[in-house]
Amino acid sequence: MSGEMIDKLITFLVTLLVVVGAYLAIRYGLRQRAKKKKDSALFNQIVLVGIASLGVIILIQALPLQDTTKATINELLGYAISAIVALSSATFFGNMIAGLLLRIINNFKAGDFVQVKESSGRITERGLFHTELEDIDRNLITLPNLFLVVNPVKVTRSTGTIIMTSVSLGYDVSRLKIEKALYEAAEMANLKDPFVFVSSLGDYSVVYEVHGRQDDVKEMLSATSRLNAMVLDALHKAKIEIISPSFMNQRPIGEQLFIPEDLSGKIVDKQQELNAEKVVFVKSEKAEIVEGKRESLEKIELKIKELKEQHKQATDQEKEEIDKLLKRYVMLKEQREKSVQENLDELKKDK
C-alpha cells in the first residue's frame, strides 16, 4: 500500500470519527434540550436527519478512492436521491410538511382526546412524520401527519366536554315523566348544566337524549358509564320500563312490569368503583405529565432569568435576598430536569 493511499485512509478514518462524534454530541445536546422544551421531538428529528445526510455526503468525499470512482458514486447517489424523492414525495415530504403545519396550528398536545374518522384516543407522541394515539383498549395507533391534515380532527376541550346517552321508550309513557327522570339521572351522575332532547319519533318508540357537561375530561369513560347507570336507576325508580314495545307481540306477559328490584346502595360501593382511565390511558397519561413538567420547567427558567436581571440593578442588601431566592430556583430547576428525564425514560419503555 502506497504512502498516498495510507494518508487517504487515515484522513477517512479521522473524518469518520469526527462525523460520528459530531452526530453523537449533537444528539446528546438535543436530548438535553428535550428535557426543558415541550414539543421538541419534531425539531430534534429534523436536525438529526439533516446532520446524518450531511455526514454521509462528507464521508463519501473522504473515501480513499480515485476521483473518477467518487464521481461515479456521487452520480449514483444523485440518481438514488432523485428516485426516492420522486417515488415518496407525496408521502414522505407530505407527512413532514404536515407535521410542521400541525405544530404551527398547535390545536392539540400530548394527553388530549382526539378523534379522526374511526380512530380515537389520547395523544401520546407527536413526531415529524406521525402522531401516536392510545385508544380505549390500550392499543397504540400510529397516524400519518398527512392524514390528520386532510381529515377533520375532533379535539376534546380541556375546559370540559358534553357527555350524553340515549334511550328509546314507548309512546305510552308521559314525556314529562321521562324528562324529569333523565334530569335526575344527569344530576346523580354529577354532570353540570344537563339538558334533554327528544331525538326522534319512531314507529314504535321515542328516542330521548340526555346531555351534561363533564369538567374533568380525563374521566370521560367513567362519566359516560356512570351516566348510563344513573339513567337505568332513575327510570326504574320512576317505574318506567326500558323495553322494546315489540316484546309484547313476541311473548304476551299480561300486566307484569319488567323493572328489577331497587338495590341502590346495597351492592355497589362507589369507593370501590374502578377508574377506567387509570387502566386504559397509561402511556398518554405519562406523556401529559411530561408535557406539564416541561411547561413548569420553562416557567422556572423564565423566573431565573428575571431574577438575574433584577440582581444586576439591585443594592447589596437586595442582592443577598435575590441570591437566596435564585439558589432555590436553580435547585428546583435541577430537580425538575431530573424528574422530566425519569419520566421520559419510563415513557420510552412503554411501547
β partners of residue 144: 130
> What's the pLDDT score for residue 55?
80
Out of 1.10.10, 3.30.2320, 1.10.287, 1.10.357, which CATH number does the structure's domain 3-104 have?
1.10.287
Share of the chain above pLDDT 70, in %: 79
pLDDT reading at 247 higher than 60: no
Higher pLDDT, 288 or 267: 288
Average pLDDT of the segment spanning 116-132: 86
* Adjacency order of strands within the sheet including 192-201: 161-169, 206-214, 192-201
pLDDT band at 125 (very low <50, low <70, confident <90, very high): confident
In the predicted structure, residue 185 carries a pLDDT above the cut 90: yes
231 dihedral zone (left: phi>0; alpha: psi -120 to 50; beta): alpha
Task: Return the number of other C-beta atoms located less than 10 Å from residue 200's C-beta.
Answer: 12
CA dist 83 and 98 (Å) reads 22
Is residue 260's pLDDT more than 70?
A: no
Most confident of 18-32, 158-172, 309-323: 158-172
Q: What integer best gives the mean pLDDT of the chain? A: 78
Long-range CB contacts for residues 176-181, cutoff 8 Å, separation at least 24: 177/238, 177/240, 178/208, 178/235, 178/238, 178/240, 179/208, 180/238, 181/231, 181/234, 181/235, 181/237, 181/238, 181/240
Instruction: Please give the Cα distance from 182 to 49 (Å, whole number).
Output: 57
pLDDT at 102: 86
User: Which is more confident, 145 or 260?
Assistant: 145
Q: What is the pLDDT of residue 249?
A: 44
Lowest mean pLDDT among 85-94, 137-146, 220-229: 85-94
Q: Residue 250: is its pLDDT beyond 80?
A: no
pLDDT interval class at 6 (50, 70, 90):
confident
Residues 6+ apart with CB under 8 A from 135: 119, 120, 121, 141
Q: How many CB atoms lie within 10 A of CB 17?
A: 10
Lowest mean pLDDT among 123-127, 128-132, 152-156, 337-341: 337-341
Q: What architecture is domain 113-155?
A: Roll (2.30)
Mean pLDDT of 98-104: 84
**Which pLDDT belongs to residue 164?**
92
d(CA 268, CA 292): 35
pLDDT surpassing 70 at residue 176: yes
Specify the pLDDT at position 349.
66
pLDDT, greater one: 176 or 13: 176
Dist CA 260 CA 269 (whole Å): 19
Q: Is the per-residue pLDDT at 271 higher than 70? A: no
Q: For residue 112, is pLDDT > 70?
A: yes
Task: Note the pLDDT of residue 286.
Answer: 76
Q: Please write down the long-range contacts of 137-146, taking CB distance under 8 Å and 24 or more positions apart.
A: 137/280, 138/279, 138/280, 138/281, 138/282, 140/283, 140/351, 143/116, 143/119, 144/91, 144/95, 144/98, 145/95, 145/96, 145/98, 145/99, 145/101, 145/102, 146/91, 146/94, 146/95, 146/98
Q: What is the pTM of this model?
A: 0.55
For the residues 1-12, what does the mean pLDDT come to? 70
Where residue 267 falls among pLDDT bands split at 50, 70, 90?
Answer: very low
**What integer is the mean pLDDT of 294-306?**
83
How far apart are the C-alpha atoms of 36 and 60, rounded to whole Å? 36
Q: Does domain 161-275 have CATH number 3.65.10.10?
A: no
Alpha-carbon gap, residue 255 to 190, rounded angstroms: 35
The C-alpha atoms of residue 328 and residue 297 are separated, in whole angstroms, by 14
* 144 neighbors 95 (Cβ within 8 angstroms): yes
Higher pLDDT among residues 226 and 249, named by residue: 226
pLDDT at 281: 66
**Res 268: pLDDT:** 47
d(C-alpha 155, C-alpha 113), whole Å: 6
pLDDT score of 81 more than 60: yes
Residue 177, pLDDT > 90, answer yes
Flag whether pLDDT at 41 surpasses 70: no
